């Protein structure tokens, strides 16, 4: 009777039954794929630096029209189909450095021994003051040796530049500056010759230390019967004087200090009666100055 009933069904009814069976089969497949979980499973994150494999695409299920509600009244409603999570993509991300490689590539702590600075930039550490030898005091420069100025070669103040001793022309009498003369029977290389009454003034213009000479009656006064006396003045003060000297007397040695003095004056005076002229000479007369 069942077969007859089945055969008695029309073509539309058979098609509806077949569609319902297909819907039930599709629902079972979907339910088996989704499982009992109501929440989608959390995918484990791939290890760092390892590309996550691409998820296989879910099998495509042919869309089947839902069966009418009247045909499966007793069946429970199908759970909502869970769509498979989207694949991460067919192209794997660029692989990053693995943890071991990253650890080896990461800069480690600075080495304990810092590199020595270059010699050009390294500053020499100052020597402690306690160890530094005390500087030796610079000795003062030795004083210059005195320079000798011969009276036979002194310039006259009218023509001089005042850089050294000079003859004060307008304050002096007649002066004969000579080279090669005789006094008291002795020969001398240079000197000055004056009258028996004379005065010669000299501006020092330097720090002079002394004056030296040999004073006597000049040899040109061979037949004189007079005598003379020699005197030396420094800044107007007499600092030396000779005895009365005649033609036959040896010359007197003169050595006086001129420290701190500015002028020198040489004076000759008559020391006794005489009828013939007398010439006096300051032989080897030299000023020592700095």
Name the phi and psi angles at 54, rounded to 5: -70, 135
Confidence of residue 64 (pLDDT cuts 50, 70, 90): very low
How many beta carbons lie within 10 A of that of residue 202, not counting itself?
A: 23
Residues 228, 216: contact at Cβ < 8 Å? no
Q: In terms of DSSP H, where are the helices of 35-98?
A: none
Q: pLDDT tens-digit profile of 11-57?
A: 555 555 555 555 454 445 444 444 444 444 545 454 444 444 445 44
- The distance in angstroms from the start CA to the end CA of the chain is 166
Count the helices and strands in the chain (H runs, E runs).
3, 12
Give the mean model confidence (pLDDT) for residues 68-77.
Answer: 41
Which pLDDT score, from 0 to 100, does residue 37 have? 44
Which pLDDT score, from 0 to 100, does residue 187 have? 96
Q: pLDDT tens-digit profile of 82-137?
A: 554 444 444 444 555 444 444 444 444 444 445 455 544 555 555 555 567 778 88
Q: What is the mean pLDDT of the chain?
A: 72
Encoded tokens for 277: 């002229």
Residues 207, 289: contact at Cβ < 8 Å? yes
Residues 288, 208: contact at Cβ < 8 Å? yes
Which pLDDT score, from 0 to 100, does residue 222 have? 87
Q: pLDDT tens-digit profile of 147-198?
A: 899 999 999 988 878 889 999 999 999 999 999 999 988 999 999 999 999 9
Residues 85, 55: contact at Cβ < 8 Å? yes
Residues 52, 103: contact at Cβ < 8 Å? no
Give the mean model confidence (pLDDT) for residues 246-275.
Answer: 94
Q: Choose the CATH number for 147-289 among 2.40.128.120, 2.60.120.1060, 3.40.800.10, 2.40.50.100.
A: 2.60.120.1060
With 50 as the cut, is the pLDDT of residue 70 above it?
A: no
215 vs 26: which has the higher pLDDT = 215
The pTM assigned to this predicted structure is 0.52
Rounded-to-integer distance, Cα 272 and Cα 232, Å? 19
């Amino acid at each position: 009777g069942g077969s007859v009933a089945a055969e008695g069904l029309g073509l539309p009814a058979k098609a509806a039954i077949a569609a319902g069976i297909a819907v039930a089969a599709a629902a079972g497949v979907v339910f088996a794929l989704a499982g009992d979980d109501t929440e989608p499973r959390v995918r484990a994150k791939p290890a760092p630096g390892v590309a996550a494999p691409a998820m296989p695409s879910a099998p495509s299920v042919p869309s089947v029209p839902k069966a009418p509600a009247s045909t499966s009244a007793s069946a429970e409603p199908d759970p909502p189909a869970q769509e498979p999570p989207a694949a991460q993509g067919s192209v794997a991300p660029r692989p990053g450095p693995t943890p071991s490689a990253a650890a080896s590539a990461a800069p480690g702590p600075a080495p304990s021994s810092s590199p020595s600075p270059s010699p050009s930039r390294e500053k020499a550490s100052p020597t402690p003051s306690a160890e530094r030898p005390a500087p030796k005091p610079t000795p003062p420069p030795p004083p210059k040796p005195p320079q000798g100025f011969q009276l036979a070669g002194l310039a006259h103040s009218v023509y001089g530049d005042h850089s050294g001793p000079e003859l004060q022309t307008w304050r002096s009498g007649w002066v004969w500056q000579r080279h090669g003369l005789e006094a008291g029977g002795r020969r001398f290389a240079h000197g000055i010759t004056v009258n028996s009454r004379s005065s010669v003034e000299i501006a020092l213009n330097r720090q002079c230390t002394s004056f030296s000479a040999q004073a006597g009656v000049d040899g040109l006064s061979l037949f004189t019967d007079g005598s003379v006396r020699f005197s030396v003045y420094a800044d107007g003060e007499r600092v030396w004087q000779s005895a009365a000297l005649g033609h036959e007397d040896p010359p007197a040695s003169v050595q006086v200090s001129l420290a701190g003095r500015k002028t020198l004056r040489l004076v000759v005076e008559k020391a006794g009666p005489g009828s013939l002229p007398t010439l006096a000479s300051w032989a080897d007369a030299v000023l020592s100055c700095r």
